[in-house]
Structures are given as C-alpha cells and as structure tokens.
Structure 1
Amino acid sequence: MVELFPKVIFTGLLLVALVIDVRSLRLPNRVVFLIIGAFIICAPLRQLSLDDTLVHLATGAGLFGALFAVALFGALTSSLPLGGGDVKFAGAIGLWLGFGHPFFVFVAWLLILLVALIAFIVALAMSRQFPFVMPLTGIVWVDDVTLGTVSIRKARVPFGVPLALAAIAATWLS
C-alpha cells in the first residue's frame, strides 16, 4: 500500500499539469516545483538509496538538458514551439522516473505519442484543403499568421500532454 501512494501522487500531479497545459498552453513553475517537492517527500517511501536518488537527479538533469538544447534550437530556428515549462516539466519527470526500466517505458510511450501528434498536426495543416479535418483540432491551437502576402497556419501544441501521458504509462506499467 505504501508503494502505491507515490504513484498516485505523481499521477495526480501529472494530470493537473496536463489539464493546465491544455487550457493555457503553459506549465507553471509551481506545478513543476510541486512535482519536485513530492519526489523529495516520497523518495523515502519508495525506499530509494542515496545512489538511487543520485541516479534520479542525474536523469532529471539530463532530460532537462536535452530538452533545453532542443528548445534552444527550436527558438533559434523558429521551428519548434517547445517552451521553458515543457523543459522543466520533462526534468521533473526524469527526476521521478530515474534511469532504468520506467525511463525506457517513458521514452517509448513519448515517441509513440509524438508520432501521433505529428500526424495530427499534418492533418491540421491539410485542413486548409480539407475543411472536414478542422473539427479535430481540439488539442492543437491554430493561429493564422500573415507574413507579407503569405498566410500560413501555425500550430501551438501543448507538449506537456504527451509528456504527462507517457510518464503516467511509465509509472503504472513499470
């Protein structure tokens, strides 16, 4: 029963983050700090040794660093709408999961969800030619941006959703 408590807490916080991200396209620092604080409180309940805790810290820092690099590249090239909240959220998820079986389950589910999201965005982009696709845009915000004489459709995506769903899958399937 004690081992179930941290999973429930983590899942609840992930669901809160997911709802906030869908509604506002933001992942506030307070949610990320709650996840980190809950990890600190739940680490003894999970019976993590000092070595395990250090591995969890390294995994969180590594995931944060990797997504920070991706977000920086996206910001410099204007190609990927990945924000700072997503980066911090991923770091907090890495902190919880550590490097091992749950982390690999997380990466597998994240890749599956990202492929689905990319397919969804492609369908959204095609919706200009195929208006029947437009009602499917409930989770992707669309802005029509005019650059000179060219009008483009820009999708704003809550990346916290696939991150949270993959972390929930990793938590309960590991």
Structure 2
Amino acid sequence: MTIAGIFVILPLCLALAAFSDLFTMTIPNRISAILLGTFVIVAPLAGLGMSQIGLHMAAAALVFAVCFFLFAANVMGGGDAKLLTASAVWFGLNASLVTFLLYVALFGGLLTIVVLFLRRQENTILASGIPFPRVLLTAEKIPYGVAIALGGFAAFPSSPLMQAAFAQLS
C-alpha cells in the first residue's frame, strides 16, 4: 500500500458505511476494522512518528470511551460507535478531531431533522411510488453513519494524516 491509500481508504470506507446504514440501518464491522488496520499501515508511510501515532490512538480511545457510554445508555448504536472510533484514529488528538466531531454533530442534527420530516410524510412518500429506502421510514433510529461520513469528508482535508501525505507529495 502506498501513500495514495491515505487519499482513498477513509473516504471509501465512510461512503460504504453511509450507504449501508442508509439502506439497511447497519454498518458492517469490517469497515471499522479496515479503517483501524489501514491506519496502522499508512501512518508510518505518511511519516508519522510513534508519538504521533500514539496520539491518534489516544483520540480513538477517548472517542471509544464516550461512545461506549452513549451505547450503554442506548443513545448510540454499536455500528455508529465503532465507525466513529475507527474514524477518529485518522484525525488524531488535536484540533482536527474537534473539527471532525463538530461536523458530525452538525450533519447529524440536519440528518435527524430531515429523517423525522420524511417519517411524518411516510404515507405520501409510499403512495407516490418514488423509490425510497423503506427502512428509513419504518426504523426507529437515525442512520448516523451518514452524518459520520459527511463529517469525515468535510474534515479530512485538514487532518494531520492528509497534511502529511500532501507534504510527501510536494
């Protein structure tokens, strides 16, 4: 795997997770595993030292701790918690993690409003015959993987890993 993997892995995994969550309300565990595993491979290739990699792992541990609490309180789904944790490792323990989490919260709020609106229009949508993911209307949860993906797309260009990759290409 080359440094180009940095430009592809996170966005591809986030897109797959978003589509899976949108259409099935599940996020496959392998997506989070791929994100964690490939980070361990690409981080040294991008020039991150062991202390920097440790800070990235600390970011994932911190996000996991919060997500575990939210999952235990039945506020967050397990797939969302794993995806958020696996994505956090790509941002590290710095301002880009805060940016990522703020984007996720913003997109999550907007997504929730849209989904709740659509659910109120369920009969109209179904009667119209427009192809629509029925699970989005009938499930009692929000496909938060979509918000995580959008937050990741928005914050990724300013992440330390992306910046390191750009520096190596220059």
* TM-score normalised by the chain length of structure 1: 0.76
Question: Which blocks of at least 5 consecutive residues in structure 1 are unaligned?
Answer: 75-79, 144-153
Task: Report the Cα distance in structure 2 between the residues aligned to 1:132 and 1:105, rounded to whole angstroms.
Answer: 37
Pick from 157, 161, 164: which aligns with 2:142? Answer: 157
CA contact (8 A) 2:17 2:31 kept: yes
Give, as a single letter, the amino acid of the residue that structure 1 aligns with 2:104.
L
- Deviation, 1:132, is 5.2
Q: 1:61 to 1:37 in 2, by over 3 A?
A: same
Which secondary structure state, in structure 1, belongs to the residue aligned with residue 93 of structure 2? coil
Q: 1:4 to 1:108 in 2, by over 3 A?
A: farther
Is 2:85 aligned against 1:91? yes
Task: Report the Cα distance in structure 1 between the residues aligned to 2:11 and 2:69, rounded to whole angstroms.
Answer: 27
Q: 1:5 to 1:116 in 2, by over 3 A?
A: same
Higher relative contact order (CA 8 A, sep 6+): 2
Is 2:45 aligned against 1:51? no
Deviations along 1:106-138, one digit per CA (max 9) or x if unpaired, are: 12211211221232244235437xx65777995
Note the 1:89-168 alignment, pairs <5 A.
Answer: 89-124=83-118, 126-127=120-121, 138=132, 141-143=136-138, 155-168=140-153
* TM-score normalised by the chain length of structure 2: 0.77
Task: Report the Cα distance in structure 2 between the residues aligned to 1:158 and 1:121, rounded to whole angstroms.
Answer: 9
CA contact (8 A) 2:56 2:92 kept: yes
Q: 1:39 to 1:137 in 2, by over 3 A?
A: same
Structure with more helix by fraction = 2
In structure 1, the partner of 2:165 is none
Deviations along 1:53-83, one digit per CA (max 9) or x if unpaired, are: 1111111111111112112112xxxxx4x32
In structure 2, the partner of 1:146 is none
In structure 2, the partner of 1:67 is 67
RMSD of aligned C-alpha atoms?
2.5
- Deviation, 1:42, is 0.4
Matched-pair identity in %: 26
CA contact (8 A) 1:123 1:133 kept: no
Task: Report the Cα distance in structure 2 between the residues aligned to 1:28 and 1:121, rounded to whole angstroms.
Answer: 22
